[in-house]
Amino acid sequence: MKLFLTDSRTKQKTEFIPQNKEEVTMYVCGPTVYDDAHLGHGRSSIAFDLLYRTLKAFGYKVKYVKNITDVDDKILKKMKETGQTLKELTEFYIDRYNKDMKALNVLDSDISPKATENINQMADLIQDLIDKGSAYQISNGDVYFNVSTDEAYGSLSKQTQDDVQNRITNSEKKDSRDFVLWKAEENKEEVGFDSTLGRGRPGWHIECSAMVNEFLGGDEFLCDIHGGGEDLFFPHHENEATQCRCGYGKEISKYWLHNGFVKIDGEKMSKSLGNSFFLKDALKVYGGEVIRFFLMNVHYRNDFNFNEEDLLASKKRLDRLYRLKKSLYGVGTSAVNKKFKEDLLNAMGDDLNISVALSNIDNFVTSSNEKINEDSKNKGLKKEIISNINFIELLLGVGGMDSYEYFQFGIDKEEKEKIEDLIIKRSEAKKNKNFEKADKIREEISKIGVTIMDTPNGTVWEKA
Ligand SMILES: [Zn+2]
């Protein structure tokens, strides 16, 4: 089976062939930790999580690095506002970020290096660039990259000029496109690190170049796949690439992948979410898996329009999968159906074609329900269906929850205890043939907003 990916440098779908058959290396630009994660972070993380899961399902061993930018102008600004130290502020948001990603069932990367823990590697690369004539120091001690020394600058994104950056041109810059590699500490209150370049802090772009080399460091290309949001294509990725070319004499990545933007459809957003862009707010209203399923249902390269109407339609689709799973509660597993598995892998192997994968799943749910209706005593069939659902979870990160818990989302612990308690009382009333009392309890339960169902395994409930 072959895996195809669209390389954003050529915009062509190409067969993925890693440099080293034994191990695929992948680097994704992670969050700058000064605020809560928003829907865009969620979508990007899910896009690369799907790629990570797909590569593994294709049998590759994968080394996945996703960095954390924990020193940056925005972080410094927030420190001034809140009075927190760098460590206090960044650890707080790293923790929140990790919680949100866990709720979205995003797998941890193999390595999550922090910028502040790799300052020496950055200083070494900057020194290398100075020695090779591709970087220079200005009078205040800052170091700039000299773009004109790299003829290939712009070959990645087909852009070379950043309008925003050029407005804040320093008069000592040799070329208006030159960008900062190192900011020397101007006063003691600023955050600074001691290094061979003196005391200061790194620019943003140098961080990833140094860490790709440190943690992946491939022979021809520093890594096989480099990814991030479309907004990072230029200047961030262009600058990362030029630093590696001029400093290490290597291209940073063999393939480049970028995910599209998330736009909020303001008018269609309901009161429950307002216009919040934060994941934490969406996660309060819907389960993590519902949000994940929604954010991944549009192909990763396309822009995503976030509105609640589409979210609810997408939730119904996931509900169907969980209804099927719930109808088979407690049956064991066997082997995954070979064709089902191959079809899903073929879909994801075609540049992560999620639309085809999800329509395969829709068909699987429909045909499984039909088969169970026709042959309700067939245990082998049921076990295979559950095994297929487990494979969906492995590949796409959805369908792995307990099917009852899935339908109980939004009921807090106290309410849950109350419901369980009422169910026991109702069973007792039924046992004592006090049907009037049992009916009253049922009514009381439905007022809480849940529906109960009597099954061979006892009474179960879900949110109405
Ligand atoms: Zn980066």
* 273 CA → ligand 1 middle, Å: 31
Range of lowest pLDDT (101-105, 166-170, 378-382): 166-170
* 87 CA → ligand 1 middle, Å: 21
pLDDT tens per residue, range 43-92 = 999 999 999 999 999 999 999 999 999 999 999 999 999 999 999 999 99
Query: What average pLDDT does this structure show over 19-30?
Result: 96
* 263 CA → ligand 1 middle, Å: 22
Q: How many CB atoms lie within 10 A of CB 63?
A: 17
Q: How confident is the model at residue 185 (pLDDT cuts 50, 70, 90)?
A: confident
* 399 CA → ligand 1 middle, Å: 32
Secondary structure (H, E, C), the chain = CCCEEEECCCCEEEECCCCCCCEEEEEECCCECCCCCEHHHHHHHHHHHHHHHHHHHCCCEEEEEECEECCCHHHHHHHHHHCCCHHHHHHHHHHHHHHHHHHCCCCCCCECCEHHHCHHHHHHHHHHHHHCCCEEECCCCCEEECHHHCCCCCCCCCCCCCHHHHHCCCCCCCCCCCEEEEEECCCCCCCCEEECCEEEEECHHHHHHHHHHHHCCCCCEEEEEEEEEHHHHHHHHHHHHHHHHHHCCCEEEEEEEEECCEEECHHHCCCCCCCCCEHHHHHHHCCHHHHHHHHCCCCCCCCEEECHHHHHHHHHHHHHHHHHHHHCCCCCCCCCCHHHHHHHHHHHHECCCHHHHHHHHHHHHHHHHHHHHHCCCCHHHHHHHHHHHHHHHHHHCCCCCCHHHHHCCCCCHHHHHHHHHHHHHHHHHHHCCCHHHHHHHHHHHHHHCEEEEEECCEEEEEEC
Q: For residue 460, what pLDDT is reported?
A: 86
Query: What average pLDDT does this structure show over 258-280?
Result: 75
Q: For residue 281, what pLDDT is reported?
A: 92
Range of lowest pLDDT (2-6, 93-97, 345-349, 417-421): 417-421
* 309 CA → ligand 1 middle, Å: 34
Q: For residue 206, what pLDDT is reported?
A: 98
pLDDT tens per residue, range 327-360 = 999 899 999 999 999 999 999 999 999 999 999 9
Q: For residue 275, what pLDDT is reported?
A: 67
* 243 CA → ligand 1 middle, Å: 12
pLDDT top residue among 229 and 170: 229
Q: How confident is the model at residue 269 (pLDDT cuts 50, 70, 90)?
A: low
Q: For residue 386, what pLDDT is reported?
A: 98
Q: How confident is the model at residue 313 (pLDDT cuts 50, 70, 90)?
A: very high
> What's the whole-number average pLDDT of the chain?
93
Query: What average pLDDT does this structure show over 141-148?
Result: 95
* 104 CA → ligand 1 middle, Å: 22
Q: How confident is the model at residue 252 (pLDDT cuts 50, 70, 90)?
A: very high
* 354 CA → ligand 1 middle, Å: 26
* 363 CA → ligand 1 middle, Å: 39
Q: For residue 37, what pLDDT is reported?
A: 95
Question: Looking at the domain that runs over 263-407, which CATH code has it been given?
Answer: 1.20.120.640
* 463 CA → ligand 1 middle, Å: 42
Q: For residue 266, what pLDDT is reported?
A: 55
* 227 CA → ligand 1 middle, Å: 8
Q: For residue 138, what pLDDT is reported?
A: 94
* 294 CA → ligand 1 middle, Å: 26
* 231 CA → ligand 1 middle, Å: 11
Instruction: Please check the confidence at residue 134 and state whether its pLDDT lies above 60.
Output: yes
* 443 CA → ligand 1 middle, Å: 56
Instruction: Please check the confidence at residue 19 and state whether its pLDDT lies above 80.
Output: yes
Query: What average pLDDT does this structure show over 240-265?
Result: 95
Give the architecture-level CATH label for domain 16-259.
3-Layer(aba) Sandwich (3.40)
* 122 CA → ligand 1 middle, Å: 13
* 189 CA → ligand 1 middle, Å: 27
Structure tokens at 142: 């800052």
* 437 CA → ligand 1 middle, Å: 64
* 134 CA → ligand 1 middle, Å: 20
Q: For residue 274, what pLDDT is reported?
A: 65
Q: For residue 164, what pLDDT is reported?
A: 55
Q: For residue 162, what pLDDT is reported?
A: 64
Give how far Cα 334 sits from Cα of 68, 253, 272, 383, 425, Å.
40, 40, 42, 5, 38
**Can you tell me the distance from the alpha carbon of 64 to that of 215, in angstroms, rounded to the nearest whole number?**
10
* 28 CA → ligand 1 middle, Å: 7
Range of lowest pLDDT (251-265, 272-286, 435-449): 272-286
**Can you tell me the distance from the alpha carbon of 249 to that of 224, in angstroms, rounded to the nearest whole number?**
16
Q: For residue 161, what pLDDT is reported?
A: 77
* 119 CA → ligand 1 middle, Å: 15
Instruction: Please check the confidence at residue 152 and state whether its pLDDT lies above 90.
Output: yes
* 180 CA → ligand 1 middle, Å: 15
* 387 CA → ligand 1 middle, Å: 38
Q: How confident is the model at residue 187 (pLDDT cuts 50, 70, 90)?
A: low
Instruction: Please check the confidence at residue 42 and state whether its pLDDT lies above 90.
Output: yes
Instruction: Please check the confidence at residue 268 and state whether its pLDDT lies above 60.
Output: no
CA triple 278-97-204, angle to 5 deg: 95
Encode 347-373: b = buried (16+ Cβ within 10 Å), e = exposed. Answer: bbbebbebeebbebbeebbeebeeebe
pLDDT tens per residue, range 378-410 = 999 999 999 999 999 999 999 999 999 999 998
* 237 CA → ligand 1 middle, Å: 6
* 209 CA → ligand 1 middle, Å: 7
Query: What average pLDDT does this structure show over 312-339?
Result: 96
* 115 CA → ligand 1 middle, Å: 11
Q: How confident is the model at residue 436 (pLDDT cuts 50, 70, 90)?
A: very high
* 292 CA → ligand 1 middle, Å: 24
* 212 CA → ligand 1 middle, Å: 9
* 436 CA → ligand 1 middle, Å: 66
* 67 CA → ligand 1 middle, Å: 8
* 116 CA → ligand 1 middle, Å: 14
* 409 CA → ligand 1 middle, Å: 36
Q: What's the Rg (C-alpha) of the chain? A: 26
Locate the domains of the chain by residue range.
16-259, 263-407, 413-463
Q: For residue 264, what pLDDT is reported?
A: 82
Query: What average pLDDT does this structure show over 273-300?
Result: 91
* 9 CA → ligand 1 middle, Å: 16
Instruction: Please check the confidence at residue 189 and state whether its pLDDT lies above 70.
Output: no
* 277 CA → ligand 1 middle, Å: 22
